[in-house]
Amino acid sequence: MASVNMELVKKLREISGAGMMDCKNALEEAEGDIDKAFTILREKGIAKAGKRAGRSTGQGVVEAYLHQLGDDFPPQVGVLIEVNCETDFVAKGEDFRKMARELALQVAAASPRWVSREEVPDDVLVSERTVYEAKAALDGKPEQVIPKIVENQIESFLKENCLLEQPYWREPKTSVQDYIALHISKLQENIVVRRFARFNVREA
């Protein structure tokens, strides 16, 4: 068996949130390539996570994050997030709370407006679509390609504004959804971000 650099295992654990043995195995399988190992973990995690989707999540935790620009500044950006799981055993665990805190940081840093694309109100999509159509027409795009352009822009809009589809800030090659899937796989419970709030004093 190839020997695996413990520094790499530690780093992979940090970015993936996965367990020690899973990280070690993935790194061995990837012959020490941390990017490959992360992809292996993620694919395994997502596969396992899929089986747990839809299971009832009545427990959970509320976490907060306040962002200060400097020592003598009061916090002017704040995030509150509720993350649910199946049992209070998992809710009490350090791994789960750490994940919830990471997600609060994600919301602070990346300013999502909704948890998932299912939550985006129809009138927002209609108004975005109208703007993209008008823009494409003004740019002189041929009429037959406009629907495709508009759909691509809607897709980008959703990826930018829905928490679960955003790139995870600590590991931008993976989505927030996949970061959560790694924890579903590790903790063996369904995990759901129920809601969040983000307040910024500077925003009108």
Interface with a second copy includes 76 (CB under 8 A)?
yes
In sequence order, the 6+-apart residues with CB closer than 8 A to the CB of 122 are: none
Residue 46 vs 90, nearer CB to a second copy: 90
Interface with a second copy includes 102 (CB under 8 A)?
no
Sign of the torsion angle spanned by Cα atoms 201, 104, 114, 59 = negative
Q: To the nearest whole angstrom, how small is the minimum distance from the Cβ of residue 66 to a second copy?
A: 6
Residue 80 vs 158, nearer CB to a second copy: 80
- Total of chain residues touching a second copy, rule CB under 8 A: 30
Locate all alpha helices (DSSP H) within the chain, ordered by sequence: 6-16, 20-29, 34-52, 88-92, 94-110, 122-138, 146-161, 176-187
Interface with a second copy includes 62 (CB under 8 A)?
yes
Interface with a second copy includes 61 (CB under 8 A)?
yes
Whether the CB-CB separation of 124 and 106 falls below 8 Å is answered with no
Whether the CB-CB separation of 183 and 95 falls below 8 Å is answered with yes
Interface with a second copy includes 158 (CB under 8 A)?
no
Residue 59 vs 153, nearer CB to a second copy: 59
Q: Applying CB under 8 A, which part among 43-51, 76-84, 131-139, 158-166 lies near a second copy?
A: 76-84
Q: Applying CB under 8 A, which part among 84-92, 128-136, 149-157, 162-170 lies near a second copy?
A: 84-92
Q: 133: number of CA atoms within 13 Å, CB side? A: 9
Q: To the nearest whole angstrom, how small is the minimum distance from the Cβ of residue 92 to a second copy?
A: 6
Interface with a second copy includes 73 (CB under 8 A)?
yes
Whether the CB-CB separation of 85 and 60 falls below 8 Å is answered with yes
Interface with a second copy includes 197 (CB under 8 A)?
yes
d(CA 75, CA 131): 35
d(CA 34, CA 18): 13
Q: Applying CB under 8 A, which part among 59-67, 131-139, 144-152, 168-176 lies near a second copy?
A: 59-67
d(CA 101, CA 17): 12
Interface with a second copy includes 201 (CB under 8 A)?
yes
Binding site for a second copy (CB under 8 A): 59-66, 72-82, 84, 91-92, 96-97, 194-195, 197, 199-201
